Amino acid sequence: MAIKTTSFASGGDGGRAVAGEKKGFRLNAFTGLIAGGLGYLFGHWMGNAIAGGYQQVIGSGQNDIAILLGFIFGTIGWFLGLGILNYPLKKMAGIEPPLEGYEFEPGVMKYFRFTLDNKVVGIQYLFGMLFYFFTAGLLALGIRTELLSPTNHIWGPATYLEIVGEHGTMMMMMMTSVVMGPFGNYLVPLMIGSKRVAFPRLEAAAFWFTPAAYIILLSALWQGGFQSGWTGYAPLSIQQGVGQDAYLFSFALLGFSMITSSINMTATIINYRAPGMRWSRLPMIAWGMITVAFTMLLSVPILIDGLYVMGLDRSVQTAMLYAGHGGSSFLWENLFWFFGHPEVYLLALPGFGLTMEILPVFARKPLFGYRTAVTGMVGVAVLSFFVWQHHLFQSGMNPDMRPLFMLTTELISIPTGFIYLVGLGTLWRARMRFDVPMLFMLAVFFNFLFGGITGVYVSDVPVNVTVHGSYFVMAHFHYTIMGQLIFAVMGAIYYYAPLYFGVKLNEKWGKIHFWTMFIAFNSTFLPLFALGLLGMPRRVFEYAARLQHLNQWVTVSSYVLGLSLAFFVVTFVWQLAVTRPKSPLNPWQSRGLEWQVGYPIPPGNFDKIPVILSGPYEYGDPNALPVADLTPAEPSAVGVSSGGEI
């Protein structure tokens, strides 16, 4: 049923995005780049005009105001050039433009435009995130190459720290959206039985923040970098060159992306569920998304506050992070970690959502303890706000506060354990199919065991004091983030490729990718625990000679890991662009609603609003109802609200 937009601002036009009817030239990423470049030049000029004569600018030759204004106007130009600001400008004249999409447009140009189709946005995010991930991965190889030898150097110490900072920031900053972007935006409307998201423009704008943030962050490399690392501790971050401005501005842009994306996601899941999609039937990915969205909404503004404070200290000479004038560097640590520690769970929860979604498909069993898993996710999200001070155990904080935060941090292992045990329960006595997605999901459990258990250790004050700032901690968080999240994402790419692209990725190549990645990952990061216990500190480019063999082992393993990921890139692109091995419909026999619509997915996701009849995980139950009725009878005047009982 085609939904028409009414002549006056109905707002209820949302059955389906209306295909763009305009022909000819349309704004796109390239016009955005041009406008963004011009905007940067204008902002930089303005900054020089305003602050060129300031004493601190003349004295240091560094005009942070010009750089930051350049970034601000550059971003505004980027958005103008993409056409994102057309809508808010039209609104000022009281015009309510219909939802225009380019979903019917053939070819690839729609992926370079501001478009309102959730599936196009999901694919934009997928390739964007992979691109950012591999950039950061290459930087990681640069780090490991330097550490081949304790004394012979490839980079200078400053360059080394720049690379470490870029790697860490890009990974921790960009990867917050690695699940919500490609999977949340694409899948959630399909999974909840909706033809659209609540705020398609917000959803699309959230993506277009990310290329701007990526370019600005990367630009730090040729502006002297930022040696404060991804944590940006003051006062070092205040004393740095203009590369630090790129750090703070790009991180803030990503913050805005997370907030806009989260507003859309929460509104969509709450209001756009199809009839019968009760909360107790909500797919685990959707639970992962809504818990993460709420966590982001309540933590990211604090990060933006912190970055803003840092920016003011650097540009207009406030002294909030500088004790000499009434500030405190620990203010930054608190603001940063109030976001930074929930962020770890922003990364983990969607990974668990993917894992819980995919495990039952290959175990052919219902998800064991659905409610327990949901409780675990909500529990992790809530508790994540009460742990941030464990990053400050050695900062000189009141020692009496340390047991409290030790306890809260240890408590979070309980809901995490819920999720973990639900996964294991699902596998118990299952007749598993060991396809590539399942292998990745099993690896998530293996890897997370190391990351999770060491997490309990490092939250204990005595252990924390011993291993703080060492490679032990680095191994811990790489196991929890890369070992859990990235493995889950890789498995999800293999799993959802038939739905996204109509292509079933080659099993043999997939298994080569999986096994090399799994072995090389563990070979890279497991020895880091030992290196940490042997006393190797983070962020140093020279180390004790006795640690060379272990470091060489790790570096060679990281090269294998890099090759494995390169193998994935080549085979993935090759199969998508050249061979396109056609996938049967629903090749994994999933019950998920998203798989019931066929391929290619209709432009509005569903021809009619589906009526949900049962949960998505009732595998192996011969009496289970089909998950949904996709062709309910013709519309009547009966009103049914989102998620209403059926």
Partner 1 sequence: MSNAVGENVTVDEEQYYHDANLGAIWSASRTLIAVVSTLFGGLVFSYFYLRSLNSHGLWDPNGIKASPLLGTIIMVFVLASAVIIQVVNRRLRMGITIDWQVGALAALLLGVLAGAFQIWILTRLNFMPGSSGYAGIYVASGPVYALVVLLSMYWLETLIARSVRSRRATAQDGGIGVSNQPGAENFRASLDGFTVFWTYFAVLSIVIWYLLYVL
Q: Which of 331, 359, 363, 493 binds partner 1 (CB under 8 A)?
A: 331
Angle between helices 370-383 and 413-427 (to 10 degrees): 160
- For residue 644, state whether it binds partner 1 (rule: CB under 8 A): yes
| For partner 1, the closer CB: 327 or 532 | 327
- Which residues sit opposite 100 in a β-bridge? 18
| For partner 1, the closer CB: 425 or 610 | 610
| For partner 1, the closer CB: 320 or 363 | 320
Q: How far is the CB of 217 from partner 1 (least distance, A)?
A: 22
| For partner 1, the closer CB: 606 or 619 | 606
584: left (phi over 0), alpha (psi -120 to 50) or beta: beta
- For residue 512, state whether it binds partner 1 (rule: CB under 8 A): no
Q: Which of 60, 239, 271, 395 binds partner 1 (CB under 8 A)?
A: 271
Q: Which of 55, 151, 280, 641 binds partner 1 (CB under 8 A)?
A: 641
Q: Which of 12, 61, 107, 399 binds partner 1 (CB under 8 A)?
A: 12
DSSP string, 605-629: S-SS--EE-S-TT-TT-TTPPPSEE
Separation CA 357–CA 591 (nearest Å)? 10
498: closest CA among 589, 583, 576, 600? Answer: 583
- For residue 17, state whether it binds partner 1 (rule: CB under 8 A): no
| For partner 1, the closer CB: 316 or 545 | 316
Residues 24-83 that bind partner 1 (CB under 8 A): none
Provide the mask over 279-308, with x wherever binding to partner 1 is found by CB under 8 A and - wherever it is not.
------------------xxx-xx-xxx-x
Q: How far is the CB of 330 from partner 1 (least distance, A)?
A: 8
Separation CA 42–CA 75 (nearest Å)? 12
Triad 20, 23, 28: Cα angle to 5°: 75
- For residue 221, state whether it binds partner 1 (rule: CB under 8 A): no
Residue span binding partner 1 (CB under 8 A) among the ranges 12-20, 141-149, 346-354, 412-420 = 12-20
Local structure of residue 452 (DSSP, 8 states): H
- For residue 533, state whether it binds partner 1 (rule: CB under 8 A): no
How far does CA 39 lie from the centroid of its chain? 28
DSSP H helices in 534-601: 548-574
Q: Which of 24, 25, 92, 106 binds partner 1 (CB under 8 A)?
A: 92
Q: Which of 53, 94, 396, 622 binds partner 1 (CB under 8 A)?
A: 94
Tokens of 583: 């996938």
Residues 241-260 that bind partner 1 (CB under 8 A): 259
Residue span binding partner 1 (CB under 8 A) among the ranges 143-151, 332-340, 421-429, 565-573 = 332-340
Triad 374, 378, 380: Cα angle to 5°: 115
Separation CA 356–CA 527 (nearest Å)? 29
Element (H, E) at 525: helix 507-533
Q: How far is the CB of 512 from partner 1 (least distance, A)?
A: 45
| For partner 1, the closer CB: 255 or 351 | 255
Residues contacting 186, CB < 8 A, separation 6+: 118, 119, 121, 122, 123, 125, 126, 496, 500
| For partner 1, the closer CB: 83 or 306 | 306
Q: How far is the CB of 643 from partner 1 (least distance, A)?
A: 9
Q: How far is the CB of 263 from partner 1 (least distance, A)?
A: 5
For the chain, helix, strand, coil in percent to 5 are 65, 0, 30
| For partner 1, the closer CB: 62 or 516 | 62
520: left (phi over 0), alpha (psi -120 to 50) or beta: alpha
| For partner 1, the closer CB: 385 or 509 | 385
| For partner 1, the closer CB: 151 or 641 | 641
How far does CA 612 lie from the centroid of its chain? 29
Kindly determine how many residues on this chain lie close enough to bind partner 1 according to the rule CB under 8 A. Answer: 82
Q: How far is the CB of 269 from partner 1 (least distance, A)?
A: 9
- For residue 611, state whether it binds partner 1 (rule: CB under 8 A): yes
Work out the burial of residue 287: count CB atoms within 10 Å of its CB; fewer than 13 is exposed, 13-18 middle, 19 or more buried: buried
Separation CA 20–CA 610 (nearest Å)? 26
| For partner 1, the closer CB: 241 or 301 | 301
Q: Which of 15, 350, 592, 616 binds partner 1 (CB under 8 A)?
A: 15
Q: Which of 3, 236, 378, 630 binds partner 1 (CB under 8 A)?
A: 3
SS3 582: strand
Residues 152-211 that bind partner 1 (CB under 8 A): 194-196, 198-199
Give the other-Cβ count within 10 Å of 608's Cβ. Answer: 17
How far does CA 154 lie from the centroid of its chain? 32
Q: 225-246 in b/e burial notation, b at 16+ Cβ within 10 A?
A: bbbbbbbbbbbebbebbbbbbb
| For partner 1, the closer CB: 199 or 525 | 199
| For partner 1, the closer CB: 453 or 640 | 640
Work out the burial of residue 124: count CB atoms within 10 Å of its CB; fewer than 13 is exposed, 13-18 middle, 19 or more buried: buried
Q: Which of 316, 404, 453, 573 binds partner 1 (CB under 8 A)?
A: 316
Residues 481-510 that bind partner 1 (CB under 8 A): none
Residues 96-135 that bind partner 1 (CB under 8 A): 96
Residues 335-354 that bind partner 1 (CB under 8 A): 335, 338
Tokens of 607: 């021809």
